[in-house]
Every structure is written in structure tokens, then in C-alpha cells.
Structure 1
Amino acid sequence: MEKISVGIVGGAGYTAGELLRLLIHHPQTEISFVHSKSNTGNPISDVHTDLLGDLELTFTDSLSYDIDVLFLCVGHGEAKVFWNENEVPAKVKVIDLSQDFRLDAEGNDFVYGLPELNKHKIKEANHIANPGCFATCLQLGVLPLAYAGWLKDDVHVNAITGSTGAGQKPSATSHFSWRNNNVSVYKAFEHQHLKEINQSIYGLQPDFDAKLMFLPMRGDFTRGIYASLYTKIEQPFEAIKTLYNTFYADAPFVHVSESNPHLKQIVNTNKGIIYLQQYEDTLLIISMIDNLLKGASGQAVHNMNLMFGLEETTGLALKASFF
């Protein structure tokens, strides 16, 4: 098989940096260009300094469609602008990492790129909307229950994310002096990822009429999401465990743990780890991912593998940063 020719738009941010780290070691890809208006002409390794010696390309402000797949790593709202201003040929597959095409709408032909939900659709798609990081983590926790029609009550969620979830552009709450030894809640009950989560839940369980009560939190660490979810449940615990193991039997990156997990198990991997515990009539679900990999660039590569008929784990056999 000839190598897949890749173009990247929005090459200076965190998700593009992670994408480049994956693609330079992917056995079936070659990087054609990395687009960045703000860094045109600069070596990519000047921005992503860990790539010194690994990648000799410079950023460009020109586009080429002599490629097989285009990754959009631009900010939210910018992908639609790019899409409207540029005619991407039908032969070029597109994977968008922003939130611009995740929600169903008239004229939107982007397939929602959560492989554990839409693997078969992804294989046939030309355009993919990569899910959000919180959205991925929370959906991995609740979608098996929605699939079985077992969600009957509000789902309470507390999830904490690393500072890279805020993107590379500095802000008051991503500054080291503020973030260090600190924790805070933001966008309580109104986080933008709730829309895509609810869209997936309703797609599996149309009669779901309760709420996701979501408290997102900023954590004092760089990467990873640790989410704890709980809800009232009627089914016996053994049936719930069987449901989760069956639902994820064909999902190579999602693992249902028998022991209470910790965040370091998923940092720097494309894994999702799920842990279940029951207390009386309440089910506790722990769900963990690396926000930059399974929550962004790793999932984008997973989608690319599916779109081009590759083994879905290709280029994603990553080691956890355990110590």
C-alpha cells in the first residue's frame, strides 16, 4: 500500500503537535505540508521543539490538495470559515478536530468520529468531525447504558482536566503561577460538549428524558481527564459489568478495569479506561482518557486508520508515562 499523504492546517497548536508526533512514526503516512499563517517559513521544530531532529519541514501559508487526507487543527469557529473559503476536492478526506461539524444539521455530511459508536460509518466516510475531549471521556462512561436503554435518572458528572485542554494560547487560568497548586470549576452545567454527548445518548436511547449534570474542573497537571459519573440504576451489578465488557469487546483502546484506576495509566496513550462500582442503587463510573490523544489527535489518527482500511491501532501503540 502506498503511503497516505497528509496535510495539516493550523499546525502550531497542541493538537497539531500531538498529531505530528504520531504521524512521523506512523508506518503508512507521509507529511506533505503543515500550514500556519502565524509561523510561515519557520521550522516546525522551532514551535514543536521536541521534534528537533525528527522533522525537517517548515510551516507554509499555501495549501496543496495533492494529498489523501487533510487534518483541520484550527480553533473552534475557524473550521467553518476554512470550509466556506476553500473548495476541498472530493478525493481528499477531511478530519476536523474543532467542534464546528459535530452536531447534526442540514447540509452537514461530517460523520461524528467516535469509533466506539460509529466505527462502520467512519469506514465509509469522507469527512469526520472528531469528538471533543470531555465528550469522548464522558460518552465512554455512559453510552453502554444508553445502548441498553438503562439510563433512567440524572447522571451527575465531576470531571477534571489538565491545562493542555485549554489550548496553547495563554490565558489567566492556564498560566503556571495560577494553575499550580490550584483547582477550580468552570462552565458548570453548561459546557459546550454537552450538546454532542446528548446527541449520542438520544441516538441510542431516544426516550432519555433526564439530564447530565456536568461540573468541569481545571486541574493542576498538564494532560489527562479523570471523570467520575454516578446515576441511579435498576439492573444488577453483574449485568452492568457484562454490558460494558460486551459493548467494548470490539474496541481495542477501551478497557474495563477490575481495580480502581488512576490517571497515570492513560497519560500519553490512546486508551480509555472504565471502572464500575455499585453502592446500593447507585452506579459509579470512572472514565479516564488523555485529552490530547484519545480526546483529540490520537482519536483523529484512529479515524484515519479506519477511513483508509488500516488496522485501527496502527501508529497508536503508545507507552504510558507512568513515572
Structure 2
Amino acid sequence: MKIKAGIVGGAGYTGGEMLRLLINHPAVEIVFVHSNSNAGNLISDVHTDLLGDTELRFTAQLSQEIDVLFLCVGHGDARKFLDANEIARGIKIIDLSQDFRLKANAGTDWVYGLPELNREQIIKADYIANPGCFATCIQLALLPLAAKGLLNSEVHINATTGSTGAGQSLAKTSHFSWRNNNLSVYKAFEHQHLNEIGESLVKLDAGFDQTINFIPQRGDFTRGILAAVYLESDLSEAEAIVLYENYYAGHVFTHVSKANIDLKQVVNTNKGLVHVEKHGNKLFIVSIIDNLLKGASGQAVQNMNLIFGLEEGTGLRLKASAF
């Protein structure tokens, strides 16, 4: 018996990635793909790379005959959608927006869907708030330290994301002529993902009260995030590597590399790679993910696998764009 899935917001970047994953997932049947603006159109007319892979069409209708609903909509729209549409009890919901990530918005119903932090809670959850892309990448760099109470100084982060992180709607900073051969900083020290990062670190280390200095950048590439993180630490490099390897030993998608890492190792995969170095009294961590997969749709499918008792990597053993 296959898991029956519905997708809301299937025309955007995360919706497209969700389709690509679920069409090829051995345990899933897509029942409907909702889009008001594209209702009646073939999915392959919008996501042209799916020509020959599916004859599904977008629909404006919802079906309750599903096991899981993925909300691939903009921030603020998930809550509006759920307020406007009654979803039958028993249907699992995985929301890729930011609407339910923070405790103040999640109540007791929603579980923060970072498997490297909350795997046991995810397995039992009905409603998952999928983490943000920057938040995922940065947390993978910091969780092992927080778990041992070793975040004892200010944290400094410079992280660069690809253009797909801005969504599909056109804006000045997403036009090719602006983005190409360009690099810029945005939301310095004020990015919205800081709040969910902080809540996760406090969950592991209740006494954590250090400042997180986060400088996000827009990169001249389409996919991926590289976060360069440093802080003061008494750990030696060897001790830090062992700490990270032990923390991630049971996690199928996050791996510690003793060699330096680059984005092409993770683009088009659900992997997170982490590299640790020591420079003087500074611990330096590099963390990389694909923002649309481990940072969005891939992680959502990983959460679905956990909820329905599948092997965690099912449908997510993807080939990196290594060159």
C-alpha cells in the first residue's frame, strides 16, 4: 500500500522539487497537486523537465483521500490555507513555510522537523514544521557543540545562498542581469532564521545566551548554501572532529569530512556535510547543503519517511552535481 500524498503550491521551486522527489519515490502515490493559478495545466507544462515522467495536471480541488499533505507555499500562506480549508483528522501535514517553526506559533501540535535534532518526536508527529534552509545549514554546524554545552562565546557566521533561496517570484535581486557576476549582503544580523536557530540551541543547552552574528549573502549560483562559522573554543581539532562524528554517527544524511568541502558535493542531494578546523583559539566549521533539498523539499520527504516508518533515505539517494 503506497502513501497517498497531496501537494499544495506545486508550481514554485520547493513544489517542483517535491514533485521530482515524490514521482520517483517507491512508496508514494501523488493524488493531487494544487495550484489555483495553474489549475488544469499539465505539470510538465510548468516543470518542463518532468515531460515524460508524469501526466498529472494541477487542480484547484482538494482531496481528503490522502495520508500526507505537503504545504509548499509562501510564508504566511500556510496558516491562511489551513484556516480556510478543513483537513481531515489523520492526515499528516508537513509545512515548508516558516508559519509554525517558532514555539510561539507552533503550540503543542507542531514538531520542528530537523531530524538531526528531533528525530524521535518527528516519528510520532502529526504536523511537521520543516526548518528554514539557512537555519538547517547553520544548525548542522552548531548542534554538536550545543549538545555538550560548548557554545561559550559569540558565534560568527557568514553564509551564502543560491538564487533559488529567494523563491520563484521576480524581484530586483533575482533578475539574471542583477544576480549574474554579483554578490551582496542582505538582512545582516537580522535574518528571520536566527529565531529558530536560537530555539534549537536552547533546547540542547538551556543556558545558551551567546550572541549569534549572522551575515547572509546572495550568491551568483542557483542552488546550495555554504556557511562559514567560527567561535572561541578550548577543544583541540581532534577533539572537535570526534565530537562531531559521534553526534552525527546515527544520521544518514549528515557527514563529517576531514578534508575541506565544496558545494558541488551536496548540490542535488539531501546531504549535509560539515568540516571542522582549529585556528589558534578559534574553532572553524564549514557546513554545506542544497537549499532546495536538505534545506526544503528533501528534508520534508525525509520527515515523511520517518513518520511512516520507512527507511530514512528512501527516495532520497540522489546523485550530486559533482562537475
TM range (shorter): over 0.9
Aligned match of 2:10: 11
C-alpha RMSD of matched pairs (Å): 0.8
- 2:83 is aligned to 84
Tell me what 2:117 maps to: 117
Q: Deviations over 1:203-240 (max 9, x none)?
A: 11111121110000000000000110000002232221
Distance across 2 between alignment mates of 1:36 and 1:124: 29
Distance 1:65 1:244 in 2: 43
Q: Is the 8 A contact 2:236 2:278 kept in 1?
A: no
Partner secondary structure for residue 156 of structure 1: strand
How far residue 53 of structure 1 moved from its aligned partner, in angstroms, is 0.7
The answer for the alignment partner of 1:234 in structure 2 is 234
Alignment pair present for 1:34 and 2:33: yes
Q: How does 1:36-51 map to 2 (within 5 A)?
A: 36-51=35-50
Residue 93 (structure 1) aligns with: 92
Percent of aligned pairs with the same residue? 64
Length-normalised TM-score, structure 1: 0.99
Aligned length: 322
Question: 2:133 is matched by which residue type in structure 1?
Answer: C
Report the Cα offset of residue 79 of structure 1: 0.5
The answer for the alignment partner of 2:306 in structure 1 is 306
Q: Give 1:163 deviation, angstroms.
A: 0.2
Unaligned runs of 5+ in 2: none
Question: Is the contact made by 1:159 and 1:217 (CA closer than 8 Å) also made in structure 2?
Answer: yes
Give the whole-Å Cα distance in 1 for the aligned partners of 2:217 and 2:293: 19
Once residues 183 and 236 of structure 1 are traced to their aligned partners in structure 2, the CA distance between those partners, rounded to angstroms, is 34
Q: What letter matches 1:107 in structure 2? A: G
Runs of 4+ in 1 over 4 A off after TM superposition: none
- 8 Å contact 2:186–2:217 — kept in the other structure? yes
- Runs of 5+ consecutive residues of structure 1 not aligned to the other structure: none
Tell me the equivalent position of 1:57: 56
Q: Contact (CA 8 Å) 2:141, 2:274: kept in 1 or not?
A: yes
Question: Secondary structure at 2:98's aligned position in 1?
Answer: coil
CA distance in 1, matches of 2:168, 2:110: 26
Equivalent runs, 1:254-273 vs 2, <5 Å? 254-273=254-273
Equivalent residue, structure 1, for 2:276? 276
More deviation in 133-142 or 206-215? 206-215
Q: Counterpart amino acid of 1:295?
A: G
Deviation at 1:88, TM superposition (A): 1.1
Q: Are the aligned partners of 1:101 and 1:108 in contact in 2 as well (CA < 8 Å)?
A: no
Q: Distance in 1 between matches of 2:92 and 2:277?
A: 41
Give the 3-state SS of the residue equivalent to 1:95 in structure 2: strand
Task: Report deviation, 1:108.
Answer: 4.5
